[in-house]
Amino acid sequence: GAVVSQHPSRVICKSGTSVKIECRSLDFQATTMFWYRQFPKQSLMLMATSNEGSKATYEQGVEKDKFLINHASLTLSTLTVTSAHPEDSSFYICSAADQGGSGANVLTFGAGSRLTVL
């Protein structure tokens, strides 16, 4: 089945630094990937849609200059949290849809990345 890999699974950084999170589709190509944020004991909130070869589409209220998304290839999207602050601490999850096969319209999620900003 489709597999989405996320790295790192956990990261701790100092306030003011930038952190990059990678999301890879391992056995399929994904022209579109999605980034979610999950606060403790809360549901997932879609942050942005990452489009291969073009600019990401951000949801309302998400700062695009804070959360930089790059989708340079059909198997890799990156989320960079710039000048991170403690309020950016959260669980970030990516997903992708394998639109080339029978799994069309079904998302596969990565295992998530726990960001802690000190």
Nearer to other proteins, 46 or 68 (CB): 46
- Residue 18 Cα to chain centre, angstroms: 15
Whole-angstrom distance, CA of residue 79 vs CA of residue 72: 12
Nearer to other proteins, 11 or 45 (CB): 45
Task: Tell me which residues touch other proteins (CB under 8 A).
Answer: 4, 6, 9, 32-34, 41-46, 49, 91, 93, 95, 97, 99, 104-112, 114
Shortest Å distance, C-beta 11 to other proteins: 13
Nearer to other proteins, 15 or 114 (CB): 114
Nearest to 92 by CA among 73, 77, 72, 71: 77
SS3 115: strand
Helices (H), the chain: none
Shortest Å distance, C-beta 16 to other proteins: 26
Whole-angstrom distance, CA of residue 16 vs CA of residue 18: 7
Shortest Å distance, C-beta 99 to other proteins: 7
Shortest Å distance, C-beta 44 to other proteins: 5
